[in-house]
Chain A
Amino acid sequence: MNLKMLFNFNFLYQNFKKSKVLLIFLCCIIPFINIWMIYLNLFKNNYVLDFIEISKITSIIAFIFPLILSYILFGFLLKKNVIDFVISKPISRKKIFFTNVLGGFIIIIFIILLNTLGLYLLSLFTKIFIPFEVLLDYFVYWLITYFFVFLVSSLALCLSHNWSSFILVYLIILLIYPCITLINYNFKYRNEKVLIRCNDSSCMPNEVNLGNNDNEYYYEIKHYYSNNLNSLINYYVYGYKNQSLLKTICLNVIYLILSYYAFKNHKMEYSESSIQNVYAYKLLKFITYLPISFICFMMFMDSISFLMISIIICLGYYFVFDLIMKKEFINPIKTLFEFMVVSVVIFCSYFAINYYYKNNNKIIDIPSEIIIEYYDNILNVSSKVLLNNQDIIKKIIKDNNVSDSQNNVVVYIDNNYYKNYYINNYTFQELKKYINNNKLNEKVTNKNIIFITADSNNYINIPLNDNFLNNVISHIDTYKEDSYTSFYLNVYKYENHSLKKMTINVGKNKDLLNYVKKYVNEDFVTNFNNDNDIFCSNIKIEFLDYINGNKSNFLTFLDNHKYDKIQDYAIIFSSGSCNYIIDSKILLKEYGDYGVFKE
């Protein structure tokens, strides 16, 4: 197909040229802010960064940048004299539309590519490690998401004739679905009672008993949902794993087609004027009134003292909407009457939905699989594990002893519900045993390991090497939890678009320990010999214990003790950007007097 049928590259060039200052500014500032913010968080987070961690700034910009971009390209639709200038030129509406869309896509590709490259360089020149798979996911996901927001804002522009209606339509198209979902979730999760059916004779009737049959008991669980505004943002940003990109691509195609027809049939003569169609205006007002009225309803449900303030907010909004959109109050008596009718309908509906969920007990059977969250005392972290062993699931659900708070686990079902369970020691040990075995079953090979860090209070990145990996993997089988550990290896692999971390207790296995020390030390010696300008402001010696030294002491120490004496090694971490290996016997001699170093 001849590209000239759809695009006018001269027009594209002029579009870029007219906004070059803004585009260059945005293309520089956005990647800079993104990378700088990630860098600033370097010491607060893991050195190995996951998709979510590198997407925080990008996700906020996703709501703004494509909006600005679509305004640069399609903003002429909101000004009469710009319409005269552009549309009178010998270029068809079809070409203007597709050329502008292409322009938007090019800029988005460019900026996401810049961000990705910046992250890659960050990974290359700092201690931060961002796996290639994460970078690839970042590029693909944000490219499609930015396209999505760009097309939504372009559609909003093609449907609007002035600024206020543009912003309104943009927000409605973008947020209508998550907003309705949020409202529904709130009703559901605040009121609906969800029960697990248990008709086994071993069930303990310590929860809710609804059944007529004496042997049938129900365990109430709660909806798993965070009721805050972040959820709205999270719908687009953190829903990554739950959402199909294919769905977004399909929406992109739909919005592209809709935008094209909206642009082609855009009534240029109405630019700079508010929404012309009375019914469309009232519909938009109604849609935007939904979240406002919902918030007021929730406030009122929480406390009746909010009644007056809720009414003021709702009424105020109803009039302010006209003021924003039409720049005037449209017949106050009529508006007041309309407000009362609409509010009565909406609030009655809210009460009805509330009542429905309150009286609607949902009963589910014991699930075939659950996600269990438990606290790992050894690793000092809370771990989530998928559990599909029916025996253990049943035991956890039935054996719910509140008094034994030591063994607290959180059970998540269907990503929707959760419940805290307090289980007895026997069941807890059985659960841990199962989890350990389950971990062993995970396929870890030197092919899917993408990164290794040595972990204690600080991280040290270990370069990947096949022999090293094979050796580490051979020790994974010996993984056992221990009450004491001082040194771990974190093995990372990328699975289902998320970074998976497995922790190996190196201290438990002497062979592995020596191997890791030797491996890391050799790497250090090579690096140290090649670098004369090493500067470490804060030294920590790990593995045996901590010793804090300063620069001069440490450098003097290094000068006095050459590496040929090295028999046994400790691993030294620094909070700067270097790590060193020191003969632990020399360390003992040098710093032993301080009583902080013990073998």
Chain B
Amino acid sequence: MIEIKNISKSFNGKKDVLMNLSCNIPDNIIYGLVGTNGSGKSTLLRIITSIYKPDNGKVLVDNVNVYDNEKIKKEMVFVPDDLYFYSGYTLKDLASFYKSMYNNFDMSFVYELANNLKLDINKNISSFSKGMKRQCAIICALATNVKYMFFDETFDGIDPIIRNYFKKLIINQMAKQDTTIIMTSHNLRELEDICDNLGLIHDSKIFFESDINSLKSDICKVQISLKNEFDKDAFSKLNILSYKKVGKVITLIVKDSKKAKKYLNSLDSIFIEFLPLTLEEIFIYQMEALGYEFKNVI
């Protein structure tokens, strides 16, 4: 299990990027980390993978402090958003490098995937396209067979077909090796497909974390029209993220959907409809509720 305890990190002594951030990531799940630009997702991944040293707090992996701990790092692999490969290296060279670093590295897996994805293992990686470079990085990461894998902007630049292929591979990997995978992406549709849990970083903290199903069932969209005259106060008992009234029809985004359904059904309504939300909609409404919106800009 990954335990993140009161992590704080600031750059240039200015505002904290992360402040007293704590969360626990259980084993054998795919954890999606979301947040706005500059919210600290990549910084958190870099702290967990021991690239950055936190100003305060610590990260424990299997109850051991991860910072500069070679033994724990042997069980971790990180694919950053901005990829780098040694100049002149081919996929074969890169795989050899990973093999020399990770005990359980599976070379045959690399050959197999390279073959399936039509990647020339003897071709210089620098001559590959952006998407192909990312494929190389993900292939090598998956071939390490480590317990913890971290992907930053996982599928950036990869076409939808190969993206789906990698999603399946990641799910298989998790099932096969009991791997814990943490990934960030701005494409919430992607995370929705494969993540078990989701954490939202906002204002230097984890604003909420939950498993995807609970999250989706907990928040719902309601369209309702009441017989009597009413205003927003009529719904004051509900935890409302968004309220819009067009004529007599009100659109609500409410949290705690069970309680909301019970309450709204009890009202004397002309019609009422409960609609499920996509993860992306949940994220947008959550962020709007937190004051992060740009609708007035355009």
Contacts and interface: CB of A to CB of B under 8 A. Distances in A.
A268 B70 contact: no
B86 A14 contact: yes
B97 interface: yes
A167 interface: no
A91 B49 contact: no
A93 B70 CA distance: 9
Interface in B78-122: 78, 80, 82-89, 93, 97, 100-102
B46 A84 contact: yes
B50 interface: yes
A21 interface: yes
Interface string B1-31: 0000000010110000000000000000000
B268 interface: no
B80 A88 contact: yes
A21 B88 contact: yes
A18 B89 contact: yes
Contacts of B82: 80-81, 84
Interface string A173-212: 0000000000000000000000000000000000000000
A92 interface: yes
Given A79-B84, A92-B68, A276-B12, A87 B51 contact: yes
A79 B80 CA distance: 13
Contacts of B78: 84, 88
Interface string A10-21: 110110011011
A253 interface: no
A482 interface: no
Contacts of A94: 68
A90 B101 contact: yes
B117 to A, nearest CB: 21
A572 B174 CA distance: 87
Given A89-B73, A90-B73, A90-B102, A270 B51 contact: no
B101 A91 contact: yes
Given A14-B97, A18-B89, A269-B52, A85 B80 contact: yes
B102 A84 contact: no
Given A10-B101, A14-B100, A82 B50 contact: no
Contact of A84 (B12, B84, B88): B84
A82 B84 contact: yes
A595 B249 CA distance: 129
A13 B87 CA distance: 15
Interface in A1-52: 10-11, 13-14, 17-18, 20-21
A79 B69 CA distance: 23
> Mostly helix, strand, loop or mixed at chain A's interface?
helix
Interface residues on A, range: 20 to 34
Nearest to A18: B86
A90 B84 contact: no
A84 B97 contact: no
B235 to A, nearest CB: 45
A88 B51 contact: yes
Contacts of A17: 86, 93
A407 B100 CA distance: 75
B62 to A, nearest CB: 15
B74 interface: yes
Interface string B42-69: 0100100111110000000000000011
A95 B70 contact: yes
A588 interface: no
Nearest to B10: A269
A78 B52 CA distance: 15
A269 B40 CA distance: 12
A18 B125 CA distance: 13
Interface centre among A79, A87, A269, A276 (most CB of B within 10 A): A269
Nearest to A264: B68
A18 B88 contact: yes
A83 interface: yes
A174 B49 CA distance: 35
Interface residues on B, range: 20 to 34
B220 interface: no
Contacts of A21: 88
A199 B84 CA distance: 77
B260 interface: no
Interface in B200-224: none
B76 interface: yes
B70 A92 contact: yes
Nearest to B80: A84
A267 B55 CA distance: 11
Nearest to A266: B53
Contact of A88 (B11, B50, B69, B88): B50
A330 to B, nearest CB: 15
B78 to A, nearest CB: 4
B70 A87 contact: no
Interface centre among A90, A95, A268, A269 (most CB of B within 10 A): A90
A14 B87 CA distance: 11
Contacts of A80: 82
Nearest to A76: B84
Contacts of B100: 10-11, 13-14
Contacts of A91: 70, 73, 101
B125 to A, nearest CB: 12
Nearest to B70: A92
A423 B50 CA distance: 76
Given A89-B73, A89-B101, A90-B74, A84 B51 contact: yes
B87 A18 contact: yes
A11 B86 CA distance: 12
A17 B51 CA distance: 24
A88 B70 contact: no
Nearest to B96: A14
A21 B88 CA distance: 9
Given A90-B74, A91-B70, A81 B80 contact: yes
A82 B85 CA distance: 8
A87 B101 CA distance: 12
Contacts of B86: 14, 17-18
Interface string B161-200: 0000000000000000000000000000000000000000
Contacts of A89: 73, 101
Given A10-B100, A80-B82, A90-B101, A268 B51 contact: yes
A132 to B, nearest CB: 40
Contacts of A90: 70, 73-74, 76, 101-102
A276 to B, nearest CB: 6
Contacts of B87: 18
Nearest to A21: B88
B294 to A, nearest CB: 28
Nearest to A13: B100
A329 to B, nearest CB: 20
Nearest to B101: A89
Given A91-B101, A92-B69, 18 more contacts: A11-B100, A13-B100, A14-B97, A17-B86, A81-B82, A84-B78, A84-B82, A84-B84, A85-B83, A85-B85, A88-B76, A90-B101, A91-B73, A92-B68, A268-B46, A268-B51, A269-B11, A269-B43
28 contacts: A11-B101, A13-B100, A14-B100, A17-B86, A18-B87, A18-B89, A80-B82, A81-B84, A84-B51, A84-B80, A84-B82, A84-B84, A85-B83, A85-B84, A85-B85, A87-B51, A88-B50, A88-B80, A89-B101, A90-B70, A91-B73, A92-B69, A92-B70, A92-B73, A94-B68, A95-B70, A269-B46, A270-B11
Interface of A: 10-11, 13-14, 17-18, 20-21, 79-85, 87-95, 267-270, 276
The list of the 8 closest CB pairs from A to B, nearest first, reads A10-B100, A18-B86, A81-B84, A90-B73, A88-B78, A84-B80, A90-B74, A81-B82
